[in-house]
């Protein structure tokens, strides 16, 4: 009895092994670009505003899909585009003394910032000794650096976070340029959530 034989033909690429290598490299680069654009992106910490949680030069991976089907939560560390006014601490709304900025300027900046979400849409927020007081409850944050007497450490007059906006602060409360000075971040400007640190080796871990 004759048996059917399946003939497997190898795809031949012009140029032999060199051509195969070019195709493999091109596919790898394409996959990496799609991965960074749609799924996850590495990010290097540029300043000390998130110390002691994140050090200058530390590298983290940001999940770009984190908020595709859900909203940011208080405590999330996010990467986002700040408002254009952030470069000069310009608030987008009338700014009374001893009050956090209640609204950003309307234009989105093209730079990336990384901060922690401390309040969400509709929350009432004030700041006491660097800690956010949200809806009358002072946050417990043993992980932050003490604020001291730096600007923005005490903002006792409460503001209301606008719909679809998130108020962010750095963990280094006395040395962080954040929502206290240039306002909450619109949800559409959020790039993703920080998933884990992969460099240096002694800081590897999930958040």
Which residues does the annotation mark as catalytic? 49
Ramachandran angles phi, psi of 17, nearest 5°:
-65, -35
Between CA 88 and CA 176 the distance in angstroms is 13
DSSP of the chain: -PPP-PPPPPPP-TTHHHHHHHHHHHHHHHHHHHHHHHTEEEEE--SSTTTTTS-TT-EEEEETTTTSSS---TT-EEEEPPBGGGGGT--SS---TTB---S--SSBPSS-EEEEEEE-TT-EEEEETTEEEETTEE---TTSBP-TTSTTS-EEEEEEPPTTEEEEE-SBTTS--SHHHH--EEGGGEEEEEEEEEESGGG-EE-
Tokens coding 85: 């006014």
**Phi, psi angle pair for 40, to nearest 5°:** -145, 150
């Amino acid at each position: 009895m004759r048996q059917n034989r399946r003939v497997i033909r190898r795809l031949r690429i012009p140029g032999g092994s060199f051509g195969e290598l070019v195709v493999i490299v091109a596919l790898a680069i394409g996959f990496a670009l799609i991965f960074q654009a749609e799924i996850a992106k590495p990010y290097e910490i540029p300043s000390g505003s998130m110390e002691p949680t994140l050090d200058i030069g530390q590298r983290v991976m940001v999940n770009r899909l984190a908020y595709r089907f859900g909203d940011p939560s208080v405590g999330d560390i996010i990467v986002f585009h700040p408002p254009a006014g952030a470069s000069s601490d310009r608030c987008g709304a009338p700014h009374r003394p001893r009050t956090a900025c209640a609204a950003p300027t309307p234009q989105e900046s093209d730079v990336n910032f990384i901060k922690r979400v401390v309040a969400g849409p509709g929350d009432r927020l004030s700041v006491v000794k660097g800690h956010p007081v949200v809806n009358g409850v002072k946050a417990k944050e043993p992980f932050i650096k003490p604020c001291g007497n730096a600007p923005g450490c005490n903002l006792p007059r409460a503001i209301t976070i606008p719909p679809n906006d998130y108020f962010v602060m750095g963990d280094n409360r006395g040395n962080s340029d954040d929502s206290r000075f240039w306002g909450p971040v619109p949800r559409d400007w959020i790039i993703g959530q920080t998933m884990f640190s992969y460099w240096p080796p002694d800081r590897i871990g999930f958040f």
